[in-house]
Structure 1
């Protein structure tokens, strides 16, 4: 199953059919859909009054096709050919003149209608065909299919980016693993050297005291090793990365699950940094958090 982004755009007119013949003066119907990321499915419709009755059907089409995203659907109709610029009939002119006279009787300061205004008002009076709502639903179905394809293409790009970031995080985790034993060995030797220097080689009871010092140094080194041990964090981080790769491979509506896993990755990287006792481990922690933040930004766009 594909991975879908919540970002996309699509437009369709007359169901994607070829342009109508010039003599066909009926209105054509178009639909435009824009989609961006959102926590839930948030639908907005911008429809002319003549197409308001189609909103329930359009809403059902979108809710069946999409899971998440802030979606705006705009529909319109327009006259074909020269129908929108035809000369108004005598009856239409008489209606407009009567309306103008009635208005100016109450508002003498009102400006008279211009030729362009007369043509525009006449065009508005053109009735939609009886099947206009069915036609806008058919055009919307085509636009929704194009939107899903666009969201799938963007989702594939985001999935590739996430795979790349998980691979980089695994590389950083592998670089961190050998650092801990090295740090423990260095600290152990540092404790031993410190105690030997404090006792002095020629002091009375140096042998016995050296044994005590050695045991104390080993105990301190053990406590230090426990304090800086990040094996659990690295194990959990690897587990989260495996789950992220598995979800991307599975596809579908995985955005919320990935968002939770990104939070867990960030927690492990923070703990890794707080336990750091070397500049190298601190650098690895910072690099991890940079990659995780990049993943977080992109996961916000996944359905």
Structure 2
């Protein structure tokens, strides 16, 4: 199973009887799954099928689905409501003998509400049913195209994430090999500091300072953090290799990466090691940003 991005775009179109239609699907990043539809009047029955199918195939991302439908040769008919018109003419004739008024004009009469009626074309039940089936099939096609695009994006993201993991691993090895983190180097620096303190005053207990130095050297060791970073790298590579909807898990892992790197930086008392930790922190942030795009 391959990785999938949460971003994608797809279109599909078709026709059935007098109907022509087009689907447009767009998906963007989101913490969960959200499906939003816009349908023309009279096509609400399509929503249940489309929403159910999208939820079956997608687990993350906000998906916007828009359906447009046109009906060819479906002209509305206009007719005059004779009953309403006759009633208005009768009232006009009665008023003509009572008040001095201009006789009603044709355009004035037609402008009166209810005189002209616009009748929508009658629909054919069989045609409408066939059109709904075709529209649902077109949605399936658009959804498949959207998923395919998300998978292509996922392949690219997987390659980028693998490169970032390689960079993190190389920096972790560089940190491990840094001369400044060797116990001898740490003890030497502490010994220099202790010697400076003893020269400045004779009130310091040399044995006590030596014990404190050993404890500080132990706390400054980043062996445990480097081991956890190596473990996180192995887990991340395994997830990327298996694919599927691993975005949330990789996002959590990127937070763990960041925590370990921060600890390495805080423990460091060597400039080279600090610079390596900061470089690693930058790559971890790049890794996390790309993970945000994964399903």
Map of 1:127-276 to 2, 5 A cutoff?
Answer: 127=123, 129-179=128-178, 182=181, 184-192=183-191, 219-276=211-268
Which residue of structure 2 lines up, in the alignment, with residue 298 of structure 1? Answer: 290
Partner of 1:12: 12
Root-mean-square deviation (CA, aligned residues, Å) is 3.2
Match of 1:17 in 2: none
Q: How many Å apart are 1:299 and its aligned residue?
A: 1.2
Cα distance 1:135–1:276, how it changes in 2: closer, same or farther (>3 A)?
same
Q: Distance in 1 between matches of 2:132 and 2:198?
A: 95
- SS class of match (1:129): helix
- Structure 1 equivalent of residue 67 of structure 2: 75
In the aligned structure 1, how far is the partner of 2:29 from the partner of 2:137? 25
What residue is the counterpart of 1:28 in the other structure? Answer: 20
The structure that has the greater radius of gyration is 2
What residue number does 2:78 align with?
A: 93
Contact 2:13 2:23 in 1 (8 A): yes
Question: Secondary structure of the residue that 2:3 maps to in structure 1?
Answer: coil
| Counterpart Cα distance in 2 of 1:235 and 1:189 | 25
Matched length? 262
Does structure 2 retain, via aligned residues, the 8 Å contact 1:180–1:228?
Answer: no
Displacement of 1:136 after TM fit? 0.9
Which residue of 45, 53, 69 maps to 2:45?
53
Change in Cα spacing, 1:217 to 1:148, as seen in structure 2 (3 Å) is same
TM-superposed deviation, 1:297: 1.6
Q: Which runs of 5+ in 2 are unaligned?
A: 89-106, 200-204
- Cα separation, 2, equivalents of 1:126 and 1:77: 16
- Relative to its length, the structure with more strand (as a share) is 2
TM norm structure 1: 0.76
8 Å contact kept, 2:187–2:217? no
**CA contact 1:172–1:284 (8 Å) conserved in 2:** yes
Structure 1: unaligned runs, 5 residues or longer: 15-19, 113-117, 201-211
Please tell me whether the aligned partners of residues 3 and 294 of structure 2 are also in contact (alpha carbons under 8 angstroms). Answer: yes
Question: Structure 2 vs 1, CA of residues 93 and 280 (structure 1 numbering), >3 Å: closer, same or farther?
Answer: same
Offset from partner CA, 1:33-89 (integer Å, 9 cap, x none) = 111111211111100112111111111111111111111111111245xx47x7x6x
